[in-house]
Amino acid sequence: MAAILAFIPLTHSVFWGTLAYTLIGGTFGGTIITLVFLPAMYAIWFRIRPDEQNLRSRWLRFDRDILKKGPPDYIPRP
């Protein structure tokens, strides 16, 4: 997203304008393919199905563990 926004000032240039539009389109298209299309194709290709019952029980178990233990004693600092 930052790269797409960085190309916007180039669109006003006579020399670099058309290249900027091409770069914006290519960067946007590549981002959509990487974040949406490829994971969807991976799930279709390997027939990955979400198991809702298992997912629900996993989240409930995670919530119960947090409530029992409380907040962590050690929180690493950056």
Q: Are 6 and 16 in contact (CB under 8 A)?
A: no
Burial degree of 34 (CB within 10 A; 0-12, 13-18, 19+): exposed
Sequence spans of domains, the chain: 2-69
DSSP assignment of 9-62? GGGG-TTTHHHHHHHHHHHHHHHHIIIIIHHHHHHHHTT----HHHHHHHHHHH
Measured CA to CA, the distance from residue 16 to residue 10 in angstroms comes to: 6
Given this model, what pLDDT does residue 29 score? 96
Q: pTM for this one?
A: 0.56
> What's the pLDDT at 49?
75
Each of the 78 residues of the chain gets a pLDDT tens digit; together they read 899 999 999 999 999 999 999 999 999 999 999 999 999 999 899 887 766 666 666 656 666 666 666 666 656 666
First to last CA, the chain: 25
